[in-house]
Amino acid sequence: MADTAASTDSGGEDVERRDFLVLAAGAMGVVGAASFIWPVVQSMNPSAEVLALSTVEVNLEPIEVGQAITIMWQGKPVFIRHRTADEIAKAADVQIADLRDPEGDADRAEKPEWLVMVGLCTHLGCIPLGQKSTDPQGEFGGWFCPCHGSHYDTAGRIRKGPAPRNLPVPPYAFIDDTKILIG
């Protein structure tokens, strides 16, 4: 009889030990899963570098008529061109129905003399030439992508080549007459 009482007592300890081991293993599993999931979720958040560049303020005062500058916004080049009256007239004279990606010049430029666009070709992401006066500007006087030969006009609209869309216009607003906020 003494053996049965001892085996019942040790059976109770086994149950308690098993319950503890199940709880400990479950807790370790939860901690392990959380330690795996946390970095995955964090990697989807924008980096501090991108957050810092979410908006960029640009002073337009030093940009002469006919001159263009390139700034970086969210890791992408943004072209800002102070267009001449001739460039504005060329952009306005285009028949919108003839364009591959129909968009009027007035829809692309908040103020006609200032054109702001992301400087990445919509074909494969190359940076088009045309920012410097010595660069080839393509058949339409705007930008030329050297990678596959896309030609953009003075409003950044695709006119010839494999690019499917116009150069994108980032969100921007004029703070005053000489400053814009991109982003």
| Catalytic positions, written as ranges | 148
Question: Could you tell me which residues are beta bridge partners of residue 151?
Answer: 144, 160
Residue in this structure with the two tokens 């000489």, named with its chain if needed? 178
**What is the per-residue DSSP string for 114-181?**
EEEEE-S-TTT----B-SSTTS--TTTEEEE-TTT--EEETTS-EEESS--SPPPPPPEEEEETTEEE
Which amino acid is present at 92? A
Q: In the chain, helix, strand, coil percent, each to 5?
A: 35, 25, 45
